Structure 1
């Protein structure tokens, strides 16, 4: 073997060795997704009137908009954008998608536990908000996410109900409502302050339909 050929072979071998070492020394580590718990999201709360002791209608009538991607509230001035994913007003929850929205969002109510929901079920058909009364997440006791006790006037999340959310920009998340009362009391009573959501969610940023 000539000296020139020897140098070429040596260079190729060294390059292959260095490339191999680089790949092994710097493996790609995929971080697992983790759920986030959000507390005391005000859903247009009101206070008792001193004259009658009765709770008046919603103070503003506006939804509190929330971005699951950014984990923060979004201003109502951005309601016509895809910056938000879900909105809260009283017991009503809206999504950013449908005939009356600008985003790509939708929702499906999954029956099961939050942890066992590891991907968007293959058979899911996402509903969207078509009008103020035709919403993706149905309102009313026992129809969507909560039960209302007429005796105690307490709103309680239905166990085993998890929202599969398609976000305003077409990504996916799972959401579970944990409480409807300020500071999420374990056993709400007549003194508990309503219209404050606590929920946990897991957002998939890569656009896939898995929650791992």
Structure 2
């Protein structure tokens, strides 16, 4: 897995400082960096296609947005990846919401965003084609991120992040270059912005 950091845009914090001499000074502009994570490998379980039984159970891969790194399950992870499933660390009060919008244009957590945690029967980031972050095409046997779907996460530290998944295949190939028989899947490429101060500006 590789990570690359890029400065994509600048967000200005609205508001002013109040001082005893009544002089108002604007708060400084805070620059937010979008981080690109490439080829986070999280293969799904091996399943016998004739019986539907799992013949090899593979582990989730635990990722900390705060550290921008894979961590162990007993550390402060935010998201866990396996196949097309993305879990949130509900035991550490991590919550998530899936919203529609352009990644760059979401500069604040929407007031109508509904955050949830995982339960025994549901995921905060829904699974299934069209339900969460991806579509599955049964004609081509491929998984593709849904354009305009953004995942919002409140992390273990209580900070907000926005995430856009760019590819499910190793090397982030173009759609017409994906061969489901030979192109390794469950290799996530995504970008995220993390707000480090607990505010809802992104």
Match of 2:98 among 99, 109, 115: 109
Mapped contact 1:45–1:59 kept (Cα < 8 A): no
Q: Distance in 1 between matches of 2:55 and 2:101?
A: 32
Structure 1's unaligned 5+ residue stretches are 1-27
Mapped contact 2:44–2:58 kept (Cα < 8 A): no
Structure 2's unaligned 5+ residue stretches are 1-26
After superposing on structure 2, the runs of 4+ consecutive aligned residues of structure 1 that deviate more than 4 Å are: 28-31, 56-59
Mapped contact 2:71–2:77 kept (Cα < 8 A): yes
Q: Distance in 2 between matches of 1:155 and 1:57?
A: 21
Mapped contact 1:180–1:195 kept (Cα < 8 A): yes
Cα RMSD of the aligned pairs, angstroms, is 2.4
TM-score (norm 2): 0.77
Q: Distance in 1 between matches of 2:60 and 2:200?
A: 27
Higher helix share: 1
1:67 equivalent to 2:58? Answer no
Within a 5 Å distance, the mapping from 1:111-190 to structure 2 comes to 111-131=100-120, 133-187=121-175, 188-190=178-180
TM-score (norm 1): 0.74
Higher strand share: 2
SS in 1 for 2:158: coil
SS in 1 for 2:33: coil
Report the equivalent of 2:11. none
What is the CA-CA distance between 1:44 and the residue it aligns to? Answer: 2.7
